[in-house]
């Protein structure tokens, strides 16, 4: 079986050359943009609706993080914190992320393509470094953070962006080589496996699931044969099932998810889920009102991080949750459209990388919402752009800046290559 670039028009994001007359191919393409011959593109225009929707989610996140965390100092665990402590830290993370995003916005995508492998190696080094007892910080029995003073940096968040960049670069190189499928794909599978082993040592299975989804998404969108794609997906599912079957903690979480109201789990592994469902149930159609959540008053753990959506549901009701879902759906779809436009302009790396970010945002949002709604087992994943978390917000904004850069370069090329 050969590793080729199929023409599958039925899937809108895959690497198929556009037909003449389609909306995304109406303007002429003057040149193919590659690492070797890319010209710097002046940043004069970008997708303003995408930036506006992201800003709306960030703004709502700031309000809800403050609402969910304002009462935490009443808990003896947080007795030394002021009521606005988490809000100030969240705003600081946003400020750092915004500055980083502005810097990234000035960097040509070709430069990221050139250094994608190096960034991936640096990420692997950080994932090893965080496991060193003298370096990594332990929170809730997990060693996932490197203290930097002004924030705790989580290498797994960088790994999500790094895998999107590396997988896109890898696919471009292997598609050009037309190698045998297994020879072409196994190094990528090995790389994801190494990342997975390091993440499971922390442990952080949630991040591993997202990273595997990003890599698989890019393989599929990059043109891997559909049958081979589903074979790889089946292998991953078996691997995850095996991990769960032989890990008592994860097995208990699955059982608690299946029957959270069982007295055996309601005050243990099912505690977060039951109180999340209570919060959503109390919200009704239009909520109890901003700031009037009861579950955030020390009943619902991690209300300002993993379970922020439950607080939104209790205070803003079904209407608030539906609005958040619609905004994330639009954001994810728009990112995929930008990636598709880049591929139509022969900028395959930029397109696959952007779509990898789309898989990241869409997949992690789906998992977080599924956990809050009781559709999926409890996992420690934040809601992108909204939940409290320094390195998560930082990498979310950097990833969005790279997508906006892809869009800006697309627009410059569609104007005929003139910056």
Which of 100-114, 147-161, 212-226, 266-280 shows the lowest mean pLDDT across its residues? 212-226
The model's confidence at residue 389, banded by pLDDT at 50, 70 and 90, is confident
CB 12 within 8 A of CB 24: no
360 Cβ partners below 8 Å, 6+ apart?
A: 160, 161, 164, 210, 213, 214, 384, 399
Token digits for 365?
């949002």
The whole-model pTM stands at 0.86
Backbone angles phi, psi at 131, to 5 degrees: -80, -10
142-147 sheet: strands from edge to edge: 137-139, 142-147, 152-153
Average pLDDT score over the chain: 83
Bin 302: left if φ > 0, else alpha if -120 < ψ < 50, else beta. left
pLDDT category at 32 given cuts 50, 70, 90 is very low
**Whether residue 223 has pLDDT greater than 80:** no
**Residues contacting residue 391 through CB under 8 Å, at least 6 positions apart:** 93, 145, 151, 152, 153, 154, 157, 158
pLDDT in tens, 58-78: 999 999 999 999 988 887 777
Q: Which of 295-299, 319-323, 406-410, 414-418 has the lowest mean pLDDT?
A: 414-418
What is the pLDDT, as a whole number, of residue 384? Answer: 95
Give me the pLDDT at residue 44, please: 57
With a pLDDT cut of 70, the percent of the chain lying above it is 85
> Which pLDDT value is given to residue 10?
37
pLDDT at 275 over 80: yes
Dihedral-angle region of residue 190 (phi above 0 means left; psi in -120 to 50 means alpha; beta otherwise)? alpha
Whether residue 27 has pLDDT greater than 50: no
Residue 313 or 264, more confident: 313
Q: Which of 15-29, 33-47, 86-100 has the lowest mean pLDDT?
A: 15-29
Give residue 11's pLDDT: 44
Predicted confidence (pLDDT) per residue in 299-317, tens digit: 888 889 999 999 999 999 9
Percent share of the chain, pLDDT over 90: 50
* 351 pLDDT more than 80: yes
Region 315-342: mean pLDDT is 96
Res. 89: pLDDT tops 70: yes
Residue 26 has pLDDT above 50, yes or no: no
Q: What is the pLDDT of residue 181?
A: 61
CB contact at 8 A, 323 and 357: no
């Amino acid at each position: 079986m050969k590793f080729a670039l199929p023409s599958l028009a039925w899937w809108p994001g895959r690497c198929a050359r556009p037909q003449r007359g389609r909306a995304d191919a109406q303007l002429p393409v003057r040149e193919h943009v590659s690492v070797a011959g890319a010209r710097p593109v002046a940043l004069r225009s970008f997708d303003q609706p995408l930036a506006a929707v992201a800003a709306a989610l960030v703004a709502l996140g700031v309000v809800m993080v403050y609402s969910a965390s304002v009462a935490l100092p009443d808990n003896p665990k947080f007795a030394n914190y002021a009521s606005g402590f988490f809000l100030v830290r969240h705003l600081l993370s946003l400020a750092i992320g915004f500055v980083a995003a502005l810097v990234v916005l000035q960097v040509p995508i070709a430069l990221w393509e050139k250094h994608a492998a190096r960034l991936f190696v640096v990420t692997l080094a950080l994932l090893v470094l965080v496991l060193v007892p003298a370096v990594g910080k332990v929170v809730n029995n997990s060693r996932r953070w490197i203290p930097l003073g002004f924030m705790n940096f989580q290498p797994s968040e960088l790994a999500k962006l790094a895998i999107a960049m590396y997988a896109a670069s890898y696919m471009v190189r292997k598609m050009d080589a037309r190698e045998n499928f297994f020879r072409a794909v196994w190094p990528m599978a090995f790389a994801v496996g190494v990342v997975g082993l390091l993440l499971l040592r922390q442990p952080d299975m949630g991040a591993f699931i997202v990273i595997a989804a990003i890599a698989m998404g890019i393989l599929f969108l990059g043109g891997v044969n559909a049958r081979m794609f589903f074979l790889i997906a089946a292998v991953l599912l078996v691997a995850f099932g095996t991990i769960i079957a032989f890990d008592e903690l994860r097995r208990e979480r699955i059982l608690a998810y299946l029957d959270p109201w069982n007295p055996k789990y309601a005050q243990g592994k099912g505690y977060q889920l039951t109180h999340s469902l209570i919060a959503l149930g109390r919200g009704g159609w239009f909520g109890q009102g901003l700031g009037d959540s009861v579950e955030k008053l020390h009943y619902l753990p991690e209300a300002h991080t993993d379970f922020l959506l439950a607080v939104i549901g209790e205070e803003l009701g079904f209407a608030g949750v539906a609005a958040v879902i619609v905004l994330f759906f639009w954001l994810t779809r728009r990112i995929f459209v930008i990636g598709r436009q880049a591929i139509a302009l022969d900028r395959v790396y930029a397109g696959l990388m952007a779509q990898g970010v789309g898989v990241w945002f869409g997949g992690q949002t789906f998992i977080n919402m599924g956990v809050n709604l009781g559709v999926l087992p409890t996992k420690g994943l934040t809601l992108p752009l909204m939940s409290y978390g320094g390195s998560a917000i930082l990498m979310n904004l950097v990833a969005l800046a790279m997508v906006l850069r892809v869009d800006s370069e697309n627009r410059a090329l569609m104007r005929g290559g003139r910056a």
